[in-house]
Amino acid sequence: MGILSGFLGSTPDECKVFIRPVRDVIDIVGGKWTLPVLTALSFKSHRFKELQVQIEGVTSRMLSKALKDLELNGLVEKEVSLENTTIVKYKLTSYGESLDELLVLMRTWGVNHRERIMTI
């Protein structure tokens, strides 16, 4: 048994199977603009332009890509106004909210790690 007892199975071969879904998560939330978008949307729904203003440094190209990826993964949904189709709103889905627990744990570990690294 591996030392990462929860993570590891009983054989090295199984490791690959365990790694894959973890990679998936990294691929989903690891993009440069993914977390800024998610946190902005968790605060409240936003229009494209609003997001671009709020997320410092993002270009329309990258914002568009990030939103599209998040939408494909079901974490964010797009809502086009029926009266005025130039008004588009992005919102976090309830599924997107399910990332919360994970992000909190990542953050906790990260905060602790920063302290640790600084003091060494």
Partner DNA sequence: CGGCATCCCTAATGATACTG
Partner DNA sequence: CAGTATCATTAGGGATGCCG
Q: Among residue numbers 22 through 61, which ones bind its own copies (CB under 8 A)? A: 22-26, 28-30, 35-36, 38-44, 54
According to DSSP, the β-strands at 46-47 and 88-92 are antiparallel
Query: Which position among 9, 23, 25, 59 is part of the footprint of DNA (CB under 7 A)?
Result: 59
C-alpha to C-alpha distance for 27 and 10, rounded to whole angstroms: 26
87 versus 111: smaller Cβ distance to DNA = 87
Which option in DNA, its own copies, none does residue 6 bind, with CB closer than 5 to 8 A by kind? its own copies
Burial call 55-89: b when 16+ CB within 10 Å, e when fewer: beebeeebbeebbebbeebebbbeeeeeeeeeeee
Q: Could you tell me which of 58, 88, 92 has the C-alpha nearest to residue 73?
A: 92
Which option in DNA, its own copies, none does residue 97 bind, with CB closer than 5 to 8 A by kind? its own copies
Single-letter code of the amino acid located at 91 = K
Residue 114 binding its own copies, by CB under 8 A? yes
59 versus 113: smaller Cβ distance to its own copies = 113
- Kind and range of the H or E run holding 61: helix 60-72
77 versus 85: smaller Cβ distance to its own copies = 77
- The structure tokens 């997107």 sit at 96
Q: Among residue numbers 17 through 46, which ones bind DNA (CB under 7 A)? A: 31-33
* Residues contributing to the site for DNA (CB under 7 A): 31-33, 47-50, 57-62, 64-65, 67-68, 78, 86-90
